[in-house]
Amino acid sequence: GRRVCVVVKEGCNQFLNAILLIGAYLMLMMEQSPETAAKTLAPLEAVATRKHYKTEGEEMADDLPITIQHCLRGIQLALDVGLVNLD
């Protein structure tokens, strides 16, 4: 298989952002489902300092974890209902 090297500053949220962008690439360009893309990215997500995605300035909420797979499903939903047009 192919290997991916993700280079970001230590201790920042850029690592999770990079994982999400790679997941979107897998879905859009490699035609993977959100579930398959998330499974492919599971080793990267596992080494992240936090397994939850958040935007800048938001506090982490343990009662509502949002995974990379949740985000990828949201991208797929936006595509399915026409909120995003890639043509």
Res 53: pLDDT: 46
Task: Show the tokens assigned to 38.
Answer: 């998330």
Res 51: pLDDT: 44
Residue 55 DSSP class: -
* Nearest residue to 26 via CA among 46, 49, 44, 7: 44
pTM: 0.73
pLDDT at residue 67 greater than cutoff 50: yes
Res 3: pLDDT: 74
User: At residue 56, what are phi and psi to the nearest 5 degrees?
Assistant: -55, 135
pLDDT in tens, 22-65: 999 999 999 999 999 999 998 888 777 444 445 555 555 555 67
Res 74: pLDDT: 95
